[in-house]
Amino acid sequence: MSDPAGESTTIERDPPAAPAALPPLRDEDDNLSAAFLDAVVAAIEASDAERARLLTEDLHEADVGAILEQLDAEQRPALIQLLGDAFDFTALTELDEATRVEILEDLPAETVAEGISELDSDDAVYILEDLDSEEREEILAQMPSIERLALKRSLDYPEDSAGRRMQTEFIAVAPFWTVGQTIDLMRESDDLPESFNEVFVVDPAFRFLGRVPLDRLLRSARPVKMGEIVDEGAQIVEATDELSSVARLFQRYNLISAPVVDESRRLVGIMTIDDAVDVIEEEADADIKRLGGVGDEEVSDRVLSIARSRLPWLCINLCTAILASFVIGLFETELQKMVALAVLMPIVASQGGNAGTQTMTVAVRALATRAIGPHNALRVVGRELVVGCINGLFFACIVAGVAVWRFGIADLGVVIAAAMLVNLIAAALAGILIPLVIHRFKFDPAIASGAFVTTVTDLVGFFSFLGFAALWFGFG
């Protein structure tokens, strides 16, 4: 740190460089390199603590986390115990939940308590909140009482609330303090957050008055009072606010941090952008997975819990499929008389399912990012209707051609074209209206829309095609 800077002209792009003897951490595709992982595994198997330390000491905690994620289940606690004091428990915050819980269960409670007491409060809570309450109590019992109380207070806030993820270390001064006094406090105090970009100003009851960014502090003369340079226009978060709405606040207003207050408006912590980024990523991830019909599943989850989590959606789909098969069953006579109908009918249903999914995907995202609101909803519905008509006409022509070419029956072309047009219009309307209605009733459109939309397109697809055929050909 006190290297006279003139000497160092090389620049390291990657996390602090490993000495020459160590393999490179990541390959050109940005995955962890096999060579590095092999070296770590070798050190674990040889119980070579010195080698393990050498390999990991200059790594960022995120990379240590990535290594742990790639190891086998029994190697993970082994590595942590091998590293001892050299292991930074922050790395555990970078893991999937299932992996983290597994590791914590395998480690002795004292090791966990010691490791966690070194962390910033937000990281400590993040690790503790996944454990069941018994284990959590056991670990908390081994921690110094001041830290225990601070952690317990955070854990008392509801899951997925700002109180759970806030950092309780921050600097707050009274408005009558001067810039000079504040700077002196920071120079002399040892008990400061690891890094910070602002100082808060509070009243005698510790209620939030405003904040002073460090650049403004630096640009002000020492005798100036903090109350004179305080910025009162801050976006404030309540400890009970949901993390997803906090993340949206960060994103909308490009915040780096935000003060967190309790119900009496007392300053109790700060939310920082890195936590908000994690929430934004988690939310997008959850949206993608819900649209794909899977729950909060992660790659590290166990087989049985995965199979179980995927069942509900598959069951719903089965009901839809059986319903569709009943619709087909209504036309047994027609199918028997003209087997071409059975051959062609999945085309209409499948094309509708896809078009509906496209519209629904755009609608769900637009609702999540608040790009559709009451003011433009009607405009968007109208637009989707037009898109459905255009694509419907286009594909009606194509499938009519295919049907006539394949079966040589011109009338079949007319029937399938009409069914395709009807189903793509139904798909457009279902794709936009179903998410809007689900959202209107305050449910998450990402979860349920898919099932409803494909139900509509399957039913309309089969019914319109077979129904038009029955009318046109007048069987039975």
Q: Which residues pair with 207 in a beta bridge?
A: 266
Q: Which CB sits closer to a second copy, 111 or 454? A: 454
- Helix then strand count (H, E) for the chain reads 21, 6
| Stretch 34-63 residues interacting with a second copy (CB under 8 A) | 34, 37, 60, 62-63
> Which of 110/203 has CB closer to a second copy?
203
How far is Cα 87 from Cα 56, in angstroms, rounded to an integer?
Answer: 9
* Region of 79-87, 127-135, 158-166, 375-383 interacting with a second copy (CB under 8 A): 375-383
For a second copy, the closer CB: 253 or 472: 253
Q: Which stretch binds a second copy (CB under 8 A): 77-85, 111-119, 153-161, 268-276?
A: 268-276
Q: Measured between alpha carbons, how far is residue 181 from residues 222, 241, 317 in Å?
A: 8, 34, 66
Indicate which single residue of 51, 53, 148, 265 sits in contact with a second copy (rule: CB under 8 A).
Answer: 265
Per-residue tokens: 106? 């395998």
Kindly state whether residue 97 participates in binding a second copy, applying the rule CB under 8 A.
no
Cα separation, 351 vs 349, whole angstroms: 6
For a second copy, the closer of residues 54 and 402 by Cβ is 402
Task: Candidates 112-120, 126-134, 161-169, 286-294: pick the segment binding a second copy (CB under 8 A).
Answer: 286-294
Q: Which is nearer to a second copy, 113 or 200 (CB)?
A: 200
| Binding of residue 149 to a second copy (CB under 8 A) | no
H/E run at residue 240: none
In 270-302, which residue ranges form alpha helices assigned H by DSSP?
273-291
With 0-12 CB in 10 A as exposed, 13-18 as middle and 19+ as buried, what is 474? Answer: exposed
Size of the site for a second copy (CB under 8 A): 151
Written as one string, the DSSP assignment of 78-123 is HHHHHHGGG--GGGGGGS-HHHHHHHHHHS-HHHHHHHHHTS-HHH
211: helix, coil or strand?
Answer: strand
Q: Does residue 263 touch a second copy according to CB under 8 A? A: no
Question: Which span sits near a second copy by CB under 8 A: 46-54, 139-147, 159-167, 365-373?
Answer: 365-373
Residue 429 contacts by C-beta under 8 Å, 6 or more apart in sequence?
381, 384, 385, 388
416 binds a second copy (CB under 8 A): no
Chain residues 198-227 in contact with a second copy, contact rule CB under 8 A: 201, 203, 207-210, 213-215, 217-221, 226-227
Select from 18, 103, 112, 347 the one that contacts a second copy (CB under 8 A). Answer: 347
Collect all residues with Cβ–Cβ distance below 8 Å to 162 and sequence separation of at least 6: 237, 238, 239, 240, 241, 242, 243, 246, 260, 271
Beta carbon of residue 419, minimum distance to a second copy (angstroms, whole number): 13
* Residue 23 touches a second copy, criterion: CB under 8 A: no
CB-wise, 152 or 266, nearer to a second copy?
Answer: 266
Contact positions with a second copy (CB under 8 A) in 59-88 = 60, 62-63, 66, 69-70
Q: Which is nearer to a second copy, 123 or 147 (CB)?
A: 123
Are 121 and 169 in contact by the 8 Å Cβ rule? The answer is yes
Q: Which of 75, 117, 142, 251 binds a second copy (CB under 8 A)?
A: 251
Q: Which of 52, 102, 57 is nearest to 81 (CA)?
A: 52
* CA-to-CA dists, residue 297 to 8, 101, 303, angstroms: 46, 15, 11
Q: Is 4 in the site for a second copy (CB under 8 A)?
A: yes
How near is the Cβ of 54 to a second copy at its closest, in Å? 17
Q: Which one of residues 277, 410, 437, 471 is an interface residue with a second copy (CB under 8 A)? A: 277
